[in-house]
Amino acid sequence: MPIELHNFTWEGVRLVQVETQPHHIAGVLSNIRETLENSDCVWEDIYSAYYNSEEDGTTTFYEGKSAEAGRPGIWTYVVYDFDPSKEEVITNLDIDTLNPALKLRRIVAEVLAAATISSPTEQAQKLRDIAKENGISPKILLSSSTAFQQSKSKHDFNEAASYVLEKNAELYRRLA
């Protein structure tokens, strides 16, 4: 029987939840940036995204507050081919799925703030610093800056969403 998880249907697999790593967040960030560049979407329209890492055989899912499930977070799973009659998802309740989502929001906010620096040299250095602090490739953040700046709404959605997510973090943990 197929598994339905994070807006995907899986068949013939076993998914084992693992801790989300910085390169998983960078992959999701890169996919969101690509979506923003190649569509009429703005940041507020991105309610889910995913990233497949061939490097470690994982798939990482991001769900924003507006996702159908209403459970913001980032989940990473190792994906194994498996007997279709024995498909399953093995979750680890000790893994915090909300903190990586908050980290992603914080990174986007920092990238947007860096975009306001008038000196291109200082701006690039700030983006390199953000990347280093978060264990993310500077190339991803440097290329993301323009896409995220263009998607910023006049109501500063990112700042408001981060505030709400942080204020409700304990509630989301209890509901999970």
pLDDT range class, residue 135, cuts 50, 70, 90: confident
| The predicted structure's pLDDT at residue 154 | 38
- Higher-pLDDT residue of 149 and 141 is 141
Task: For the chain, give every domain's residue range.
Answer: 3-175
Please, what is the average pLDDT of the chain?
Answer: 80
> Using a CB cutoff of 8 Å and minimum separation of 24, what contacts does 44-50 make?
44/151, 44/153, 44/157, 48/6, 48/7, 50/6, 50/8
- pTM for the predicted model, two decimal places: 0.69
Q: What's the mean pLDDT in 13-30?
A: 92
Pair of tokens at residue 4:
């339905």
pLDDT 10s digits, 38-92:
888 777 778 889 999 999 999 999 988 665 556 788 999 999 888 888 888 888 8
